[in-house]
Amino acid sequence: MATPQEVEIKFLIPNIKELEAKLKKLGFHCVTPSTHEVNTLYDLPGQKLRRKGELLRLRKYGDTWKVTHKAKALPGRHKSRQELETTVSDGKQTDQIFRALGYTPTFTYEKFRSEWSDGDGHVVLDLTPIGNVGEIEGKSRWIDRTAKALGIGNADYITKSYSELFFDWKRRTKRKAMNMTFREIGGRARADDGKSDSKPSNRRTRPSRSQ
C-alpha cells in the first residue's frame, strides 16, 4: 500500500477576519474552530532524524493526540513528503515509549489552529507566538487555484517547517527562546519584534534543530 503523500504550502496572514470572509465566499466551511495545539518533535542522539530530513512528532490538538512520521521533503514549489499518522489514546504514555526507545524531545511549538475545507482540500489558519500563518493542503493544482483565489501568489509560498521559521525569527530578533511557545516568547510576537518579522524568508536554510 502506497504511503500517503502530504502536499502543502504555508503563507503569511495579514488579517485573519478578511481571510475567513474570503474562505466563506469561496464555499469553504469551518471544520474545526480555533483550537489549542501543542507539538513536540523527537529525535535520536546526534539528531539522526533531522540529518535525514525526517520528523517524528507527538501532537495534542484539543483533547486528541496524534503521532506523525514525515519523510524527507521533495524539492519543488510545494512542500511534498510522505506522511504516516495515527491517533493515540494516551499522549503521556506515548511520550514515555519514545523515551524508552531512545528518542528525546528536541523542539516544542504551539498555536491555535482552525481548519477549513471545501470538500477537496484544507486550509488551516494558525495563530502562533511569532505571527499568523496559513497552510493550504491538497492536490498541487487545487493548492494553486485556491491560493490564487485567496490573493496568494507563488512568491508568497512558504515551504519551510515551523522550526525553520522559528529559528529564522530567533536569529532576526536575537531572542533567547528555545521553543515556539507562548510561555517562552511571551504571547504572539509583535510587528516591531524584528525588522522582517512580518515577512519571513522562504530561502531554504538548515534548521538549528529538528524540522
Question: Per-domain residue ranges for the chain?
Answer: 5-193
With a cut of 60, say whether residue 198 has pLDDT above it. no
187 sits in the region (left: phi over 0; alpha: psi -120 to 50; else beta) called left
Q: Please give the pLDDT value at position 99.
A: 98
Residue 10's identity, in one-letter code, is K
4 sits in the region (left: phi over 0; alpha: psi -120 to 50; else beta) called beta
Q: Please give the pLDDT value at position 163.
A: 95
Query: Do 51 and 69 meet the contact criterion of CB atoms below 8 Å apart?
Result: no
5-193 in CATH: which number? 2.40.320.10
With a cut of 60, say whether residue 125 has pLDDT above it. yes
pLDDT in tens, 110-122: 999 999 999 999 9
Q: Please give the pLDDT value at position 115.
A: 98
With a cut of 90, say whether residue 75 has pLDDT above it. no
Instruction: Please identify which residue in the block is written with the cell numbers 493544482.
Output: 141
- Pairwise CA distance, residues 26 & 76, whole Å: 27
pLDDT in tens, 16-74: 999 999 999 999 999 999 999 999 999 999 999 999 999 999 999 999 999 999 999 99
As beta bridge partners, residue 174 has none
Task: Provide, rounded to the nearest whole percent, the portion of the chain with pLDDT above 70.
Answer: 87
